[in-house]
């Protein structure tokens, strides 16, 4: 090192070291930055919402008894990654006076267990952490942060249809 001609400034050795570091940095960036996007890609992707805002027919409203919540279950297929997976939904519908309805998701707002209607108590109960919801979806007791989620609905030719976008 001592006999290198230029002690100060840019000598051959420093130049090569600098070039190597620079090119190495570029290569690392070319590989490294896309790698981050690569790993995060599925979580950043737009949710497949197109199929979710279709109207899903649940059943005839004439079959619904006023004041009695009724569970509708159905599955919808969804493309997750390269797989078509079936996702099951549970929807509670309560017919109210004047042809209005309460349409609840049966997914507990606490940690996503499934609630079920208990006829004898007149409450929805989540078995996981003993969450109780009223017939109107309101919180009675338990750890849940908010009332049951609702879906939009409409009545077409006597058939109740819902939209799977939570409101």
Binding interface with other proteins (CB under 8 A): 31, 34-35, 37-42, 44-45, 81-83
* Least separation in angstroms between CB 96 and other proteins: 44
Return the number of the residue (35 or 121) whose C-beta is nearest other proteins: 35
State the pairing for strand pair 83-96/70-80. antiparallel
* Least separation in angstroms between CB 37 and other proteins: 4
Return the number of the residue (5 or 41) whose C-beta is nearest other proteins: 41
* Least separation in angstroms between CB 51 and other proteins: 17
Return the number of the residue (82 or 119) whose C-beta is nearest other proteins: 82
Return the number of the residue (12 or 146) whose C-beta is nearest other proteins: 12
Burial, 128: exposed, middle or buried (Cβ in 10 Å; 0-12, 13-18, 19+)? Answer: middle
* Least separation in angstroms between CB 45 and other proteins: 8
Return the number of the residue (15 or 74) whose C-beta is nearest other proteins: 15
Measure the CA–CA gap between 145 and 121, rounded to whole angstroms: 21
* Least separation in angstroms between CB 47 and other proteins: 14
Residue for token pair 């109207």: 55
């Amino acid at each position: 090192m001592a006999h290198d001609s230029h002690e100060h400034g840019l000598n051959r050795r420093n130049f090569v070291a600098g070039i190597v570091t620079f090119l190495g940095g570029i290569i690392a960036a070319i590989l490294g930055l896309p790698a981050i996007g690569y790993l995060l890609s599925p979580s950043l992707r737009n949710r497949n919402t197109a199929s979710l805002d279709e109207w899903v027919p649940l059943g005839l409203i004439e079959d619904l008894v006023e004041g009695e919540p009724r569970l509708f279950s159905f599955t919808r297929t969804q493309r997750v990654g390269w797989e078509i997976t079936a996702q099951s939904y549970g929807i509670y519908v309560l017919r109210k006076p004047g042809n209005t309805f309460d349409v609840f998701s049966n997914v507990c707002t606490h940690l996503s267990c499934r609630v079920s209607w208990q006829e004898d108590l007149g409450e929805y109960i989540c078995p996981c952490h003993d969450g109780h919801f009223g017939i109107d979806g309101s919180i009675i007791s338990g750890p849940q942060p908010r009332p049951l989620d609702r879906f939009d609905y409409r009545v077409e030719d006597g058939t109740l249809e819902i939209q799977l976008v939570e409101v």
